[in-house]
Amino acid sequence: NKGPQTYWILSNPEFLAEGTAMKDLAAPDRVLIGGPTSPDGLAAANVLVDIYANWVPRDRILTTNLWSSELSKLVANAMLAQRVSSVNSISQLCEKTGADVAEVSRAIGRDSRIGPKFLGASVGFGGSCFQKDILNLVYICESEGLNEVAQYWQQVVDMNEHQK
């Protein structure tokens, strides 16, 4: 024992997709590191930045405060799930009107502001991450008194249940 030690808690959420986890680890879109904004906290985050910089370009390593890091993970999954629920709601409208949801998805996916990913109609999103992260986001919103925001994100889960 060399006396008292100082420890810092950092947030380093993973952004791994099912089926591509190894590729996502080797060549991530981004690495997110959140930590305290004090000089010591920033220094601790930079130690982790230096480790990732051995294989991840520095411009893909983002540093934020703890809450921004944690919320970024929840919001990324919530927005992907929102796309799934959105196209599934449109698939029901397509069935009623005679439109082909695959053609609608292809057409809107060509819009550079939207892009083609997560626009396939399906039985909804599965797995554990999307729903867990959205419900966590709902809980945080409710805890902060943001009831309308919580209801908005709850509706994404509700739409997914309706699609099943």
Active-site residue set: 129
Rg of the chain on CA atoms, in Å: 20
Structure tokens given for 83:
């796309």
**Residue 11 gets which letter from DSSP?**
B
One-letter identity of residue 48: L
Does residue 81 contact residue 160 with C-beta atoms inside 8 Å?
Answer: yes
Distance, in Å, from the CA atom of 120 to the CA atom of 109, rounded to the nearest integer, reads: 10
Contacts of 133-141 with CB under 8 Å at 24 or more apart are 133/73, 133/74, 133/77, 133/78, 133/81, 134/74, 134/77, 134/78, 134/81, 136/74, 137/71, 137/74, 137/75, 137/78, 140/71, 140/74
